[in-house]
Structure formats: C-alpha cells, structure tokens
Amino acid sequence: MAQLEITHHIKSKIKSDNPFCDGRFFQLLEESHSVGDETGWLPYHLKYQQDILPGYLKGHSYGEYIFDWAWADFYQRYRIPYYPKLIHAIPFTPVNAPKNLTQSADIFSELVAHSFENYQRTTQLSGEHYLFLTDDEAKIIESQGHKIMKSTQYHWQKKWDNFEHFLQSLKKGRRKMIKKERQKVKDSGIRIKTYRAHECLEIMPKVYELYLSTIAKKNSYAYLKEEFFQLLPKMMDESLLIFIAEYNSQDIAMSLFIDSEKALYGRYWGILAQYENEFPALHFEMCYYQGMDYCFKNDIPLFEAGAQGEHKLWRGFEPVEILSAHHLRIPELFKPICDYIDQQNQEVENRILELRKYLPYKS
C-alpha cells in the first residue's frame, strides 16, 4: 500500500451522494474554526491518496451525542487519564452517514486497520472511537477488536404519497393531535418561508442569531462559529434548506436542514425566547411537519430529525438502533466497560421493542 499520512486539513472534494461524505462539511468546520484548538476538536485525519478517514483528538466528550462521560469518571477513580482520545465522527452532527471519505470498502478496511495500528503506537491516547456507524462499517471495525455499542434515535420513513395519507395511517388521537398542532400555527398568523441554496445567503445573520437563542436556552456552548453560518450557503449550497417563521413582519424562528436524494437531515432550530411559550406548536411544525412535507414533495425516503426526543415517537418517528464502536488501550479497564456495553445493548434492544408499542400507527 502507498504511503499513508496524517493530515490536519481536508481540502479535496470526493464524489459522494451524501453531503456529509464528500469533504465539504469537514472543510466548512475547519475554515470557520468550529474545529481546532479553541473547541477541543483537533483534526487528525488519516489519508491515502484521495481517500480520507476523518479523525479528531479530543480532550473532552462534548458535541459527540454518544455519551462516555461515565467511562471518563471510571478512569478518574483510578487516577488514569481518559483524555486525549481519538474519535472518528462528524463533529457536532448526530447523523447516520458513512464516517469515511473513500470510494471503496476495501480502502476503508485498510484505513481502519492502519488507524488502529497508529493509535496503538500513540501511547498517550486512551482509546479509539467511531460514532454513528453504518452496519457495514460496524462489521469492519468490530473485526479490529472494537466493541459495538447501541443507542437509540427516531427516524421517519416516507411510506405514503402525501401528508394526508400519512395522517390517515395514524390512530385517531394522534391524528387529531397533529392536525390541531398544524392548525394552531396556521391560525396564529405565522408565515413560513422556504429558502434554498444561494437564497439562504441573505438570512444567515438571522439564522445565527436564532441558533444562539437555542444555545442560551440550554445553557450550552456555541461550537459553531458565526463564520460557519456565513460560509454554509456557499459550501453546501444545493444541499441547504432553511425554513423561517415570520410573525408580525419579524423573523422569529428557523429550522435548518441538509438534504440529499436518500435522506433529509434536521440539524438546527431556534426561536426568539419571547415567542417560545406563545407558540409551543411551532417547533413541531418547523422541525417535523415541514420536513415531512418536503420529503413528500421531493420523494426523499428517510427523514432524520436529530438526536433524542421521545416526543418524535408520537408523531410517527420510529425508534432505531444507532451503532458506535469503541476500543480502550488498558485491558483491565476495557473489560468492565465492555460488560457495561453488553448490558446497555440489551437494554436498548428491549427499550426499542417497548417503544414500538407506543407508535401512533393503526394496527
């Protein structure tokens, strides 16, 4: 195999039908300084010719959506550092897209093997982690000795011709609830505007302001810089979809999506604080129902509306298994964590079976 190298920048665009897997999103994060020293996501990509396995050195576990804080606490009890660690993921992005920028499964297998060898040689790293894997990726990585862990998300699949047909598939109570939520938004005087591609340039300052409103409400940290939103329409143009809610001639809320032929990904939501309690149904309209409408109009089969949220279940999103893979360097600590993962995996499987009983669809 030709020479492999560690690179800290992704520059080339790789052909892919997934907007998260052609390099643009990684470039966007780097050029906007959303990853780097300041945010604790240090780019550490493994490159072979034009194929890249993205990676990051991390000194914390923020922005990952697969939670290992308890493992870090476990290490701390023995006064063993858990950080830095190596992760392969799309930063701040809990989507189920391939985490490699390659053209070939064979090349991916080789990159995984070489990454594992490199991690084993880099003794200051406590472990190597892959987040939000496809089934095929998980099998390849598991063969290297990583432990597969399961967690849960809620996805919606387009199985109907239009929104009305979707409603007719629901039990009466849930159908009534959704119709009532949508009607409340219509009756409120709110107008929802749609922006695509280059049309989004003019509204990005407002989108960033509304993004920050969500960060402030959650008392969280704004990993995504203002430059990220300024560059987003230019670098992700044909994949970018934004809905803006206008009320009394003021833009009060936004929802931002990335789309492809195979899936629509709900990414960011924000509303001015003074309107959140006044329009409680607006979140469901902007983040779920507008996305469903878009999938119907554009024949997109899958809608991933983001992490967590059992309220999605009542609105037709089905619980699905999410896969990640983990390897820790110290066998004496890795073994009990593997036992914990086995227990969690069984709990996730049982919970999904239980959650499916509460889906809103008719029998």
Give the pLDDT of residue 103: 62
Tokens for 213, please give them: 């409103």
Domains and CATH numbers, the chain: 5-151+319-358 (3.40.630), 159-300 (3.40.630.30)
The pLDDT tens digits of the residues spanning 38-82 come to 899 999 999 887 789 999 999 999 999 999 999 999 999 999 999
Tokens for 38, please give them: 């300041």
The pLDDT tens digits of the residues spanning 125-144 come to 999 999 999 999 999 999 99
Residue 242 pLDDT grade (very low, low, confident, very high; cuts 50, 70, 90): very high
Residue 32 carries which DSSP code? T
Using the predicted structure, report yes or no on whether residue 220 has a pLDDT greater than 90. no
Residue 237 pLDDT grade (very low, low, confident, very high; cuts 50, 70, 90): confident
With contact defined as beta carbons under 8 Å apart, do 152 and 120 qualify?
no
Rounded to a whole number of angstroms, the CA Rg of the chain reads 21
Give the pLDDT of residue 12: 67
The pLDDT tens digits of the residues spanning 272-309 come to 999 999 999 999 999 999 999 999 999 999 999 988 78
Q: What does the DSSP assignment read for 275-301?
A: HHTT-TTHHHIIIIIHHHHHHHHHT--
Start-to-end CA distance of the chain, whole Å, equals 54
The pLDDT tens digits of the residues spanning 319-360 come to 999 999 999 999 999 999 999 999 999 999 999 999 999 999
Using the predicted structure, report yes or no on whether residue 1 has a pLDDT greater than 60. no
With contact defined as beta carbons under 8 Å apart, do 45 and 6 qualify?
yes
Average pLDDT, the chain: 93
Give the pLDDT of residue 2: 56
Apex 221 CA angle, 203 and 69, nearest 5: 140
Using the predicted structure, report yes or no on whether residue 149 has a pLDDT greater than 80. yes
Beta-carbon contacts of 51 under 8 Å, excluding residues fewer than 6 positions away, are 14, 100, 101, 102, 103, 104, 107, 108, 111
Residue 11 pLDDT grade (very low, low, confident, very high; cuts 50, 70, 90): confident
